Amino acid sequence: MPEKKPAIKAPEFRIIRGSDCNDAMMQSAYKHFSKNRTVPWSYTSFKGSLSNTTSALMVGANHDYHTVLGMIIINPIILSSSECFDAEADAKADSNLDSLLIDSAELEDIWVVSSYRRQGLAKTLLEWGIHELCALQCPVLHLEVNADNHAAIKLYERFGFVNVGRRKNYYDDGKGNKSDAFLYSLNL
């Protein structure tokens, strides 16, 4: 009988919703986040986006919150109260996200620490984000991605995101190299 291959052990992790992250977790995530960006974000902007209920960190299951394995940052675009034309919706507009009308959402970033890649972590994070957006009745998720980022493009296309446009020379790596951005959308 052929010898059975041992299954690859899935990494143990937990997803912590952005709104439940404390400052130490935010700081740790910000360190990772800043390393990978050509256009820097201030800590305040990062914290604002990660604090969304639709953003999350993936950490080791051993509760070591400093071991950030990945993150997903989704910014919901909320209809302004003047666009709602609904007094009841207006009244609810400053309560919590659950009661707001979400027009669309933008996947700002998804990232997995390099030594944990190709083990399904980004897939798990994106499934989580999509589930949260569906619960908020968000109709569509948009994103932009560097046209050279084949790993990310594969991931998005696997989820059914559709390429809806291209921005020429959108990214600049700071060393004079420019690359295009692809725009993708997923109807939820």
Q: How far is the CB of 58 from ligand COA (least distance, A)?
A: 9
Q: Is 116 a catalytic residue?
A: no
| Identity of residue 20 | D
| Residue number, 105 or 152, with CB nearest to ligand COA | 152
Interstrand relation of 140-146 and 102-112 (parallel, antiparallel or unpaired): parallel
Spatial CB neighbours of 119, under 8 Å, sequence gap ≥ 6: 8, 10, 11
The answer to the question of residue 60 lying near ligand COA (CB under 6 A) is no
| Identity of residue 149 | N
Q: Is 43 a catalytic residue?
A: no
Q: Give the CA-trace dihedral at 17, 45, 32, 175, to 10 degrees.
A: 150
| Residue number, 117 or 166, with CB nearest to ligand COA | 117
Cα gap 125→137, rounded to integer Å: 18
Q: How far is the CB of 110 from ligand COA (least distance, A)?
A: 5
Write out the binding residues for ligand COA, residues 86-125 only, by CB under 6 A.
Answer: 109-112, 117-123
Return phi, psi of residue 67, to 5°: -90, 80
Write out the binding residues for ligand COA, residues 131-160 only, by CB under 6 A.
Answer: 145, 149-152, 154-155, 158
Q: How far is the CB of 122 from ligand COA (least distance, A)?
A: 3
| Residue number, 78 or 112, with CB nearest to ligand COA | 112
Residue of 30, 65, 132, 156 marked active site: 156
Q: Where are the alpha helices (DSSP H) in the chain?
A: 23-35, 43-50, 81-84, 87-92, 121-135, 150-158
**Which residues are known catalytic residues?**
144, 156
* Interacting residues toward ligand COA by CB under 6 A: 36, 109-112, 117-123, 145, 149-152, 154-155, 158
